[in-house]
Amino acid sequence: MERIAVSAVRKSFNLKPGQTVTVDGVTSSRIAVLDGVDLTIDSGEFITLVGPSGSGKSVLLDVIAGLTEATSGVARIDGVEVVKPHARTAYVFQQYALFPWRTALQNVEYALEVRGVPATERRERAKDFLHLFGLKGFEDRFPSQLSGGMQQRVAIARALSTDPQVLLMDEPFAALDAQTRDILQSELLRIWEQIKTTVVFVTHSIDEAIYLADRVVVMTARPASVKEIVKIDLPRPRDLEIRNSEAFNAYRGRVWESLRDEVGKAQRDWTLASTYAN
Ligand SMILES: Nc1ncnc2c1ncn2[C@@H]1O[C@H](COP(=O)(O)OP(=O)(O)O)[C@@H](O)[C@H]1O
Ligand SMILES: [Mg+2]
């Protein structure tokens, strides 16, 4: 069953006053970021999104999340056009977006509180999800008392505790060291196997993209569209060891080949891109 449908989504932004961009000899004060993105995602699918840095992956997630409006085209969840943040969509960012003044437990509870879950129930539920992510005994710690990996576990526990139909993850493990990242990837898969929510996960790691996904979506350089979709037919549940298999290696080559040209284009575009950086 189709859960997310992105149809012909285009997005452009006005540049800062006085700035212009020249593409193919045409000078404009707007920057085109998404250029007709089409993508349908089934209920319970795990999709990973790879593409050159600055290609528009975060903007695409924002459109699906209802955090930003498409310039044209439409994103739908269960057939309904996304016009504002959806109560059953959860978002996990690269930076641990936890409230520093709330404990781990209170951070998870917060998501339930805003959804009107009664106090006793939300405490139980928040605890269950922290335990699921191996945080038993850390409920009363403040974010500053937790490692980066633990903070990101809390953020994921918080997102999943709301029972989302759609979980959007924007490079959630990018700031973590390699080992912690490996552990969190397999934990995320273990929990996803149980709940099978629909996940759209952005990463710049090809290995992470393949290991997690049912399908890897390769985006073109900006202005982005879907370049290629690689179906990952590796058995589940997946062990980290699978990354050493021949099949995995073949996917690695395949995805890299698709991505390589786009990364090249994005690099040629680098001087241009750097003018938009904040
Ligand atoms: N609010 C904005 N105003 C202007 N430009 C933006 C805005 N948000 C993103 N961009 C530009 O859109 C492009 C794609 O950004 P982003 O989606 O963050 O890329 P990435 O694929 O790395 O996640 C970048 O060039 C960025 O500068
Ligand atoms: Mg991004």
Tens of pLDDT, residue by residue over 216-227, are: 999 999 999 999
Per-residue confidence band for 94, with pLDDT thresholds at 50, 70 and 90 = confident
79 lies in the same domain as 175:
yes
Residue 124 CA, ligand 2 centroid: distance in Å: 34
Q: Which residues have any ligand 1 atom within 6 Å of their CB?
A: 13, 31, 33, 51, 53-59, 222, 273, 276
Per-residue confidence band for 274, with pLDDT thresholds at 50, 70 and 90 = very low
Rounded CA separation 148/73 (Å): 37
Number of separate domains in the chain: 2
Rounded CA separation 125/128 (Å): 5
**Structure-model confidence comparison of residues 80 and 21, the more confident one:** 80
The pLDDT assigned to 71 comes to 97
Per-residue confidence band for 199, with pLDDT thresholds at 50, 70 and 90 = very high
Q: What's the angle, vertex CA 205, arms to CA 216 and CA 237, rounded to 5? A: 60
Its domain, for residue 135, covers 95-163
| Average pLDDT score over the chain | 92
Query: Does the pLDDT value for residue 266 go beyond 90?
Result: no
Cβ-based burial of 52 (10 A; exposed 0-12, middle 13-18, buried ≥19): buried
82 lies in the same domain as 19:
yes
Domain boundary among 104, 132, 163: 163
Which residue lies with its CA nearest to atom 18 of ligand 1? 58
Question: Rounded to two decimals, what is the model's pTM?
Answer: 0.93
Alpha helices in the chain (DSSP H): 57-65, 104-113, 119-132, 148-161, 178-195, 206-212, 246-268, 270-274
266 lies in the same domain as 141:
no
Q: Whose CA is closest to 50, among 237, 263, 272, 198?
A: 263
Straight-line distance from the first to the last Cα atom of the chain, in angstroms, rounded to the nearest whole number: 40
- Token representation of residue 50: 């790879």
